[in-house]
Amino acid sequence: MGDDVAATSTRTRLVAVLGSSGGNLRSHGGDDPASLLRDVNRQLEAAGLALGEVQFVSAQASMDGVSDSTPAQLWALVDGQPQVVAEGPLGEVNAAARDRDVRLSERVRAGEIDGLILISADPTGANAATVEAAVAADLPAAGTGGTSIATAQQLGLKLVAASGTTGTTSTTRAVSYVGGLARHWKIKYKPVLGGGSSAAGAGGGGPAWRRISIRGIMVGSIPAFIALALVLAVSKIPGLSAVNEVFETLMAGLPIVVAAVAARKVSALDEVGLVAGAVTGILGAKGGVLGGLAGGVLAGLLAAWLIRWTLAHRFPATTANIVTGAVAGLLPGLLVLFVLAPVTSAVGDGVKYSIEAALAFNSIAAGALAGGVIWFAIIGGVYHSVILPLVLLEMGQKGHSFFGAIDMVSLVMVSLGITLAGVVKPRTSGERALAGSGAAVNFFFGTFVEASYPFMFGDKRVFAVAIASATVGGAMAGAFTVEASAYLPAVVAPFVATNSAGMAASMVTSLALAFTLTYLINRHHVRRNPAPTT
């Protein structure tokens, strides 16, 4: 026995994963074995452990109501990566699993496997031989799945972390498994949240505060603001004034959306973070979009800490999820409601009044300045961290935005004009296709202004055209004091604007100017550089 301990201490401990897509588990990540196993592997690596084997049966229906004919797959470890090694009716896949189970049990008896993770496993069926060998070898195991875990305990398996599945995610279950094994082996383990796992959500790994990204949060929230703009457009149709109630409801819900997106991204806990953010947003809705942003970030930070704290103190995974989602939502929400809401609301009003004051002082100059600098903002990487938040902040205050109008007039329409000129009068044979695809996205979707970059950066004159056209279009938008939204089809944008005719005139002006001047530059270039004849 002493020799076995010494051997284990000189090599990386290997952990085998046994399980299935389960009954209740199937709706909690069991239907995505690749992500589920990837989450487990990431946490094992964070603890200095390694995945030694996988024996996972995935069925295309809940295990609570399957038959031998249900389509299924068997996942195993191939060249260090979980892969499908058998596929077919569940009866055949289970037979293949039992064959591999026997081979895995031999590895357990030989001392090659140091611990087990059970994920809705079958201790008396497809995983019986390995569980029996683990009991005899006194291996530690961690797992979830009420019925299967209870059965494993009855068989004498040493469970160092056990829980049900309800309310958990693939990430939090993996943290629970590895946390239990790490405590048993007395090894240092810091859970890794975020980065590389769909179950963990977007964002990088490391401390939660490093996942705070105003740009990422605002971009993730854009669909809700676009929905608001579309409802505003519909409400202007004669006879549909009743839609105003929908508009007001959406306006009130924007802080909730921003808080939920922020908490999910910062916590990297998927549903748990999402719920925490939603609770915070509901409580702090009076603080406006900025209140939702602040509350969501705080909820995400607290959730990331709470999930580690609860699991480190041996809370069952289900309880850890519930406590994390509830407490991380309530505390920041109450803070925003009673302390921060007046401040964030005042800041939001201040931004709105500042823009209105600038327009009131000299709307043409304000529009020209905004149009002239917006290209430099997007090229310099400032757009998504400054301009876009301003657009969404304005929309959160009143449903439309001056900077939203500038975005459409001075960015999208100018890019459309430059790319259309590339379609009508291309400089080279391959330029037309490149310009055409960009122009189509600009017109039909109101985005991808970067499509004009090759033409702007390829000729300083075209770059100057872009700035000049954007400035003129912005001046016109200022003259009409028009407010609208970005990220909409060109034909829709005027209908969500506060001044449809003014918006349309501004758009057409910047489009026509960019197209005409770029067309003339392209024609001059072609004449100066005729294609070689053969």
Residues 452, 418 within the same domain: yes
Is 115 a domain residue? yes
Q: DSSP string covering 415-433, please?
A: HHHHHHHHHHS-SSTTHHH
Measuring CA to CA, how many Å separate 468 from each of 198, 338, 428, 442, 519? 43, 48, 25, 19, 15
pLDDT value at residue 247: 84
Is 83 a domain residue? yes
Measuring CA to CA, how many Å separate 130 from each of 16, 56, 107, 269, 462? 10, 13, 9, 32, 69
pLDDT value at residue 347: 87
Q: DSSP string covering 365-402, please?
A: HHHHHHHHHHHHHHHTT-IIIIIHHHHHHHHHHHS-BH
User: Which of 449 and 235 is assigned the larger pLDDT?
Assistant: 449
Measuring CA to CA, how many Å separate 357 from each of 345, 352, 484? 18, 9, 18
Cβ neighbours for 482, distance < 8 A, ≥ 6 positions apart: 402, 405, 497, 498, 499, 502, 503, 506
Q: Given 151, 185, 219, which residue is the final one in a domain?
A: 185
Measuring CA to CA, how many Å separate 13 from each of 48, 144, 174, 494? 8, 21, 17, 64
Rounded Cα distance, 296 and 277, in Å: 5
Per-residue pLDDT averaged across 38-50, rounded?
93
pLDDT value at residue 196: 41
Residues 238, 145 within the same domain: no
pLDDT value at residue 61: 87
pLDDT digits (tens, 9 = 90+) for 286-310: 999 999 999 999 999 999 999 889 8
Is 351 a domain residue? no
Residues 180, 212 within the same domain: no
Residues 232, 97 within the same domain: no
Contact at 8 Å (CB) between 229 and 496? Answer: yes
Is 1 a domain residue? no
DSSP state, 61?
S
Contact at 8 Å (CB) between 475 and 364? Answer: yes
Residue 205 banded pLDDT, cuts 50, 70, 90: low
Per-residue pLDDT averaged across 377-387, rounded?
84
| Residue whose structure tokens are 């709470």 | 306
**Among candidates 339, 335, 203, 224, which has minimal Cα distance to 273?**
203
Average pLDDT across the chain, whole number: 88
pLDDT value at residue 531: 65
Angle 33-46/170-185 helices, nearest 10 degrees?
Answer: 30
Residues 114, 172 within the same domain: yes
Q: Given 319, 336, 353, which residue is the final one in a domain?
A: 336
Residues 171, 129 within the same domain: yes
pLDDT value at residue 418: 96
Contact at 8 Å (CB) between 117 and 161? Answer: no
Residue 206 banded pLDDT, cuts 50, 70, 90: low
pLDDT value at residue 3: 46
Residues 179, 216 within the same domain: no
Residues 31, 170 within the same domain: yes
pLDDT digits (tens, 9 = 90+) for 486-503: 888 999 999 889 999 999
Rounded Cα distance, 237 and 65, in Å: 51
Is 6 a domain residue? no
**Among candidates 75, 69, 124, which has minimal Cα distance to 92?**
69
Query: Is residue 219 packed enough to be buried (19+ CB in 10 Å), middle (13-18) or exposed (0-12)?
Result: middle
List the CATH number of the domain containing 71: 3.40.50.2300
Is 191 a domain residue? no
| Residue 41 token pair | 């592997």
Domain span including residue 263? 207-336
Domain count, the chain: 3
Strand order in the sheet with 14-20: 81-89, 71-78, 50-59, 14-20, 115-119, 140-144, 158-163
Contact at 8 Å (CB) between 16 and 37? Answer: no
Is 315 a domain residue? yes
Residues 212, 179 within the same domain: no
Residues 402, 372 within the same domain: yes
Secondary structure of 454-522 in HEC code, one letter for each residue:
HHHHHCHHHHHHHHHHHHHHHHHHHHCCCCECCCCCCCCHHHHCCCHHHHHHHHHHHHHHHHHHHHHHH
Q: Given 336, 370, 397, which residue is the final one in a domain?
A: 336
pLDDT digits (tens, 9 = 90+) for 96-146: 999 999 999 999 999 999 999 999 999 999 999 999 999 999 999 999 887
Rounded Cα distance, 371 and 469, in Å: 8
Residues 383, 329 within the same domain: no
Nearest 5°: CA angle at 108, between 103 and 113? 115
| Residue whose structure tokens are 């996988």 | 54
Contact at 8 Å (CB) between 320 and 307? Answer: yes
pLDDT digits (tens, 9 = 90+) for 390-421: 888 888 888 889 999 999 999 999 999 999 99
pLDDT value at residue 194: 64
Is 119 a domain residue? yes
Residues 96, 228 within the same domain: no
pLDDT value at residue 308: 87
Per-residue pLDDT averaged across 452-475, rounded?
95
